[in-house]
Amino acid sequence: MATYAIGDLQGCFEPLERLLAHIAFDRTRDRLWFVGDLVNRGPDSLACLRFVHGLGERAVSVLGNHDIHLLCIAEGVERARPRDTLDAVLEAPDRAALLEWLRHRPLFHVEQGFALVHAGLAPEWTVAQAAGLAAEVEAQLRAPDYRDFLARLYGDEPARWSADLAGMQRWRAVVNAMTRLRMCRPDGSMALGFKGEPGEASAGLVAWFDMPGRASRDHAIVCGHWSALGVCLRPELLSLDSGCVWGRALTAVRLEDRALFQVECPPGAGPEG
């Protein structure tokens, strides 16, 4: 039995099929961890959702920013964007079941020394604190009035985490860190507008995982989201977004021995978003 962590799919189902063949995935024994962003920008978001949903307990998938974007569009609280490729999901006969399943995905998952999250963590958070904060957000997403929560979720403020935050301010900060974060300012606040390579950052910005004193270093953080960074493997970090949707590669890492597996992806549609 093996557990494979897989980078951002973003609707790239055919590369996923080739990657699973490459690792000889056995769905009766092995498990898959997905870093989120199952959907959008690629051609087969519906197939990706149906496949991961069909794996049942053999898969763990955390929510990414594109997954949340799909939920917001489906509920009519956000408009589709020009490069979205979500129509097939929104028009599918099993739309309701797939979106219900997606809304109940975790924001954060911890197991055997690994912590799975789409983007990053605020430098102040221990893994235990992050798990508690994720549970708060998950409760809101699964509540009867989840639509009101989604309607108030978007926005870049507050940029800095504080334990004194409450309500939507608190939950928005948690979601932004876990689904959008790449760079922090020296004071720990989130520079959410940055999307480039680390070397392109203005003076003072630091990759979230390199922040001094980061409290989550006792776990190996498994994440994606940052395709311009590419694959970055360290003892305390497995960053796996290798830009499949932009024509580069789809990546898996076997957690038991950290073996790396990749397949090439067809040419993509544009820059990271």
Determine what percent of the chain falls in helix, strand and coil, rounding each to the nearest 5. Answer: 35, 15, 50
Percent of the chain clearing pLDDT 90 (strictly above): 93
Q: What is the pLDDT of residue 143?
A: 98
C-alpha 100/C-alpha 187 separation (Å) is 38
Greatest alpha-carbon pair distance for the chain in Å reads: 50
pLDDT over threshold 80, residue 269: no
DSSP for residue 261: E
Confirm if 29 and 1 have CB atoms less than 8 A apart.
Answer: yes
Range 57-79 average pLDDT = 98
Q: Are strands 220-223 and 183-184 parallel, antiparallel or unpaired?
A: unpaired
Q: Which token pair is 251?
A: 């990546």
Give the model's pLDDT for residue 271.
42
| Number of domains into which the chain is organized | 1
CA angle (102 as vertex; 60, 136 as ends), nearest 5? 80
Average pLDDT rounded to a whole number, residues 248-262: 98
- Tokens at 48, concatenated: 């990706």
Is 78 a domain residue?
yes
pLDDT at 17 exceeding the cut of 70: yes
Asked, for residue 273, whether it belongs to a domain, the answer is no
Pairing verdict, β 249-254 and 3-6: antiparallel
Whether the model clears a pTM of 0.75, i.e. scores above it, the answer is yes
Range of the domain at 219: 3-264
* Residue carrying structure tokens 């604190």: 129
269: in domain: no
Domain contains 21 = yes
Residue 195 in tokens: 């999307």
Minimal CA–CA distance to 210: which of 234, 194, 231, 242? 234
Rounded-to-integer distance, Cα 172 and Cα 219, Å: 24
Q: Are 250 and 7 in contact (CB under 8 A)?
A: yes
Distance in angstroms (rounded) separating the CA atoms of residues 81 and 136 = 28
Residue at 270 is within a domain? no
Domain assignment of residue 200, yes or no: yes
Nearest to 4 by CA among 261, 233, 270, 221: 261
Q: Is-contact 248 241, C-beta < 8 A?
A: no
Distance CA 252, CA 18 (A): 11
| CATH classification at residue 230 | 3.60.21.10
Q: Map residue 6 onto helix, strand or coil.
A: strand
Q: What's the confidence (pLDDT) of residue 268?
A: 60
In this structure, is residue 145 part of a structural domain?
yes
Percent of the chain residues topping a pLDDT of 70: 98
Closest C-alpha to 117, from 58, 35, 56, 200: 35
Query: Residue 162 falls within a domain, yes or no?
Result: yes
What span, in angstroms and rounded, lies between the C-alpha atoms of 148 and 197?
A: 35
- List pLDDT tens digits, range 92-136: 999 999 999 999 999 999 999 999 999 999 999 999 999 999 999
Q: Give me the mean pLDDT over the 243-265 stretch.
A: 97
Q: What is the mean pLDDT of residues 26-44?
A: 97
Q: Does the CA dihedral 43-47-51-52 come out positive or negative? A: positive
| Nearest CA among 132, 131, 20, 9 for reference residue 61 | 9
pLDDT tens digits along 173-227: 999 999 999 999 999 999 999 999 988 888 889 999 999 999 999 999 999 999 9
